[in-house]
Amino acid sequence: MPETKPYDSDFMLGEPALVCRWRLAGATLPLENRHLRALSRRHLGDAPLDDKLVAWAKQHIEWTLASGAAEHPNGVLMLMVDERGRAAMTVGPYEPLTDRRLPALLARADLAEREADQTDVAPETIWSVVDGGLVWGLGEGCVPSGTASLVEDLARTLGISVERRAGLLDEVRSGGLAFDEAFVVSDEHGVVLPEGLACPLGERFLEGYGTLLRKARRLGQGS
């Protein structure tokens, strides 16, 4: 079983090979099941993450997150795993993005795609609206992040088609795709709309994500 210690400043973790950053609300993890499902599909090196590590993460989220997030109830839960499979959790403050221009968002999606090359899951993905439907920068058969799976389900609930396309990022960046909207979906930042670009459909997903966080905060404050 991996050597793991949550919320422990004395625990010496090796160089992190994987870092997951998940948004909190009301000292809870609103998308817990989705995040853990995506975690279970990640790889470390050539091997999938140990099932025991995923079980450990779930246990400590359920048992110690409320106290561990006391200082930052609406912050970010960080799960760090080193190359030996040892893990640690900590909670820090949420810091909004300072640059939400489209080129900056595309750069973040590019970094996330590179992470997915190593771990099989991209924590941030690019989405575009083309002819009223959604095109998602994720290849068929690839594993979605927790927040991205939420947006996909919201789209289908609204009757909006979703097409996965592995090369979407390059098409948007090069101008080779005529799109009506483009935005990023992030495990840490939620639905991120670019500054200066109208995104009426993206606003609907942003509102749906915001409603989820507000509900979690109310429940957290009442517990």
The predicted structure's pLDDT at residue 219: 85
Cα gap 140→36, rounded to integer Å:
21
Extract the tokens encoding 38.
């995506």
The β-bridge relationship of strands 76-82 and 16-23 is: antiparallel
- Tell which residue, 82, 83, 77, has the closest CA to residue 35: 77
pLDDT of residue 141: 85
Residue with tokens 């839960």: 77
Give the residue from 63, 76, 54, 68 showing the smallest Cα distance to 4: 54
Phi, psi of 17 (to 5 degrees): -100, -15
Tell me the average confidence (pLDDT) per consecutive run of 10 residues in the chain, 223 residues long: 42 82 97 97 92 94 93 96 90 97 98 95 98 95 95 96 96 94 98 96 97 92 55
Task: Give pTM, 2 decimals.
Answer: 0.93
The answer to whether the beta carbons of residues 91 and 71 sit under 8 Å apart is yes
CB-based contact 30:216 (threshold 8 Å): yes
Q: Which are the contacts of 220, defined by CB distance < 8 A and separation ≥ 6?
A: 25, 26, 27, 28, 73
Question: Which residue in 127, 86, 91 sits closest to 109, CA to CA?
Answer: 127
Q: Given this model, what pLDDT does residue 52 score?
A: 93
Structure tokens at 26: 């009301």
What is the SS3 assignment for 91? strand
The pLDDT score that the predictor gives to residue 15 is 85
Residue 39 is predicted with a pLDDT of 97
And the tokens for 193? 């709309």
